[in-house]
Structure 1
């Protein structure tokens, strides 16, 4: 054969077309098929993200035997918050020690070469001749000596007489080995015999303006007895420095004498007569050093009153001011 396709090969396309038409005709004769019914699966939509369709539940492949979970370790308890330390208590100011007891007396040392006792001291003339002995001192209301009473010697004690001489007629030499009192009488100072007798009669009599001091009783303002004057210590300037008091029986039965400063004496009038006063208590007398010949002279005076204690308010205010200044 010449030209064209062989016959069997030409038939194949026609058969294919016919088969296709037959198949399409069968499909046209059938009605519309319903869609298969499936269960609705909820879809989870996350906000602000692409919607994801939940697929079928995943099945977890069985694994090997699960190991038991170890128990969780116990948690450490939380540390408590640190406690705030309380401020230290204020330091209490220690109470001041109790004040020392107030002294009862004040003492003054008197040199024996600067003062000498008056009683029974020899009285001489300027030429050195001894004419008698001093027996008393007369003072006025202010405590100023105005007279001395001298026992003028007679012959072997016969004719002795007490005569008052003005205080200005005497000179005192406490450090002298012989007579310590010298009588310097001016021509008009010699007492007349009748005046001497009158003076002797009144020698031991106290009036409102004069007081013979020897043997006078010193009292306190309340009338209690302090002691009896047994001597007066006079310095080189004719000034009394102290009185010697016999205080026996005041605080003990033993005989005891003390020296008290002349400045501690006061004088008052009672029943028209002068009498001496001193503010020495029994405790002050007991605390006073004794007076003895050959020993240092320590004259005493009542101690001045202690100042009143400061008010508690002012002391606390001062303490707070001191703390604030720190």
Structure 2
């Protein structure tokens, strides 16, 4: 037992030496804790989320999409409510009424006359044209044409020439015996009959010097050259001085002398044959043409060396539906 204390006394300095660092650390801890008791408490450090960076297979950072901005919470409308203000009403501007559209221009006046152009190489003048036989022998000159009530040529009056004007006489031949070559008076009219005795129907008939046929001439006909043309009311239009015939021996127009011999406004026009009408007058006929004075003035003049412009009354415009409905009622 006595031997134990000396051993402990020998070991104590070693224990003290080995425990010295522990004692020093304990003393420092106590000192620090004592200082902390007298200092103000410190705020905890803010917690920051760690940014996680993603790497690809090669070790390179992968771009990440930016986080969407946080949606702000709507403010409380009750606390932020503004005072109510009435919106101003829009100002009503009264626009002036647009002016009415201008009235449409009046329709052009209807034409007074209708015209038809006939070239000179399409017709043959009748009056004073030579009449020849097949052999080319001249027998006389054409002086007139006889037409029936339908306007169809019936006979031609030829002045057979005598010697130096002695023995001249007028005879009429059936119209169907003549052939026409267009070209004015320069081309002769052909009397297409054989030489010798003619059949009774084709034989010429004597005509008086006045142009009126002897007994036996067909009544209800009219000699065209020098015939007076009237309107249906009896007023005078003019006098026929020539007839224009086409190659088919059909009359196409008449040449009218307007105004008479002593009238300073005397002139000639061509009137379309289709515009003529024939009405009974005693035992013969009278020629009618419904052309007013204004229409006659609007007609172009006739010239022997220019194309023929034949005139006729303008066609009356068609009746409007309203007027026709009123007429039907």
TM above 0.5, yes or no, is yes
Partner residue of 2:132?
Answer: 124
Partner residue of 1:188?
Answer: 198
- Indicate yes or no: 2:230 matched with 1:222: no
Structure 1 167/177 Cα, relative in aligned 2: closer, same or farther at 3 Å? closer
CA RMSD of aligned residues (A): 3.1
* Bigger mean CA offset, 229-238 vs 176-185: 176-185
> How far apart in 2 are the matches of 1:191 and 1:310?
55
TM-score under structure 1 normalisation? 0.64
Where 1:188 maps in the other structure, the secondary structure is: coil
Structure 1 177/299 Cα, relative in aligned 2: closer, same or farther at 3 Å? closer
Q: Deviations over 1:230-267 (max 9, x none)?
A: 000001110101000001259x6233100011111111
> How far apart in 2 are the matches of 1:85 and 1:196?
97
- Indicate yes or no: 2:161 matched with 1:153: yes
Q: Aligned pairs, how many? A: 233
Q: Deviations over 1:274-321 (max 9, x none)?
A: 101111111111111111121221111111112345659x9xxxxxxx
Where 1:138 maps in the other structure, the secondary structure is: strand
Structure 1 192/123 Cα, relative in aligned 2: closer, same or farther at 3 Å? closer
> How far apart in 1 are the matches of 2:249 and 2:202?
25
User: Is the contact between residue 140 and residue 159 of structure 2 (CA under 8 Å) also seen in structure 1?
Assistant: yes
Partner residue of 2:71?
Answer: none
Where 2:156 maps in the other structure, the secondary structure is: strand
* Bigger mean CA offset, 85-94 vs 301-310: 85-94
> How far apart in 2 are the matches of 1:257 and 1:151?
25
Matched ranges for 1:1-326 at <5 A: 81-86=89-94, 89=97, 92-175=100-183, 178-186=186-194, 187-189=197-199, 196-197=205-206, 199-200=207-208, 203-204=211-212, 209-248=220-259, 253-308=264-319
> How far apart in 2 are the matches of 1:226 and 1:166?
29
Task: Show structure 2 runs of 5+ residues with no match.
Answer: 1-85
* Bigger mean CA offset, 78-87 vs 299-308: 78-87
Partner residue of 2:6?
Answer: none
TM-score under structure 2 normalisation? 0.63
Deviation, 1:119, is 0.4
> How far apart in 2 are the matches of 1:275 and 1:282?
20
Structure 1 208/99 Cα, relative in aligned 2: closer, same or farther at 3 Å? farther
Structure 1 162/261 Cα, relative in aligned 2: closer, same or farther at 3 Å? same
Q: Deviations over 1:14-45 (max 9, x none)?
A: xxxxxxxxxxxxxxxxxxxxxxxxxxxxxxxx
* Bigger mean CA offset, 132-141 vs 180-189: 180-189
Q: Deviations over 1:46-75 (max 9, x none)?
A: xxxxxxxxxxxxxxxxxxxxxxxxxxxxxx
Task: Show structure 1 runs of 5+ residues with no match.
Answer: 1-77, 315-326
